[in-house]
Amino acid sequence: MKIIIGSQNKAKITAVKNIFRTSEIIGIQAPSGVSDQPMSDQETLTGSINRARYCQESELGVIGIGLEGGVMQLNHQLLLCNWGALVDPSGNVYIASGARIPLPDQITKALRSGRELGEIIDEFAKKENVRHHEGTIGILTNEELTRSEMFEHVVKQLKGQYMLAKQQYNVDKI
Ligand SMILES: O=P(O)(O)OP(=O)(O)OP(=O)(O)OC[C@H]1O[C@@H](n2cnc3c(O)ncnc32)[C@H](O)[C@@H]1O
Ligand SMILES: [Mg+2]
């Protein structure tokens, strides 16, 4: 079955390809409908659902996947957060979140001044395009966990929920 991902980010596309090995998979630009830098779990989740729905509705009979990175506040601290959504050919929505990790004060301050994490982390790590490679999660975990590995966990949770629903309710036929 064809899968359309709402992003052209390499780390996101690699994650989906590594989990759905046999399907035809493409990435397209899809509007998240939220800010470029989501600042809460709710906003990040909404962005992933909007992207997944847009992709699913762009072609008949396909699966749409949206993966969205953001930050959220917990106990006066900002944490990196990630959400994913899968919309199946019948329009059912499955959601899952990824690993979370606190952001250093220096990054939190820059985010609170309105800048995007993608840009801040490049400065912090003295690298270019971190968002397409190891990601913020990779930099902050000394590369123990990369951005595409983290998204692989999210995609596994999405795929698993969808496969279970398919077995139990034959969702694609509803
Ligand atoms: O092209 P898209 O799919 O939008 O990919 P993106 O890298 O911009 O990723 P998101 O929109 O999902 O993430 C929102 C913001 O948070 C940043 N971000 C989130 N998680 C990150 C990570 O692990 N590494 C680097 N940047 C991250 C990202 O660069 C954006 O500024
Ligand atoms: Mg983005």
pLDDT for 24-60, tens place per residue?
A: 999 999 999 999 999 999 999 999 999 999 999 999 9
67/98 Cα distance (integer angstroms): 10
Sequence-separated (6 or more) residues with CB below 8 Å from residue 91: 56
ipTM of the prediction? 0.90
Answer yes or no: is the C-beta of 123 below 6 A from any ligand 1 atom. no
167 or 156, which is more confident: 156
What is the mean pLDDT of the segment spanning 121-134? Answer: 94
The number of the ligand 1 atom at minimal distance from the alpha carbon of 68 is 12
Q: 148 CA distance to ligand 1 centroid (A)?
A: 12
Residue in 137, 161, 142 with CA at minimum distance from that of residue 69: 137
Answer yes or no: is the C-beta of 9 below 6 A from any ligand 1 atom. yes
Does 173 score more than 70 pLDDT?
A: no
Domain 3-173 annotated CATH 3.90.650.10: no
Q: Where are the domains of the chain?
A: 3-173
Model confidence at 88, in pLDDT bands (50, 70, 90)? very high
Give the ligand with the smallest distance to the CA of 118.
1
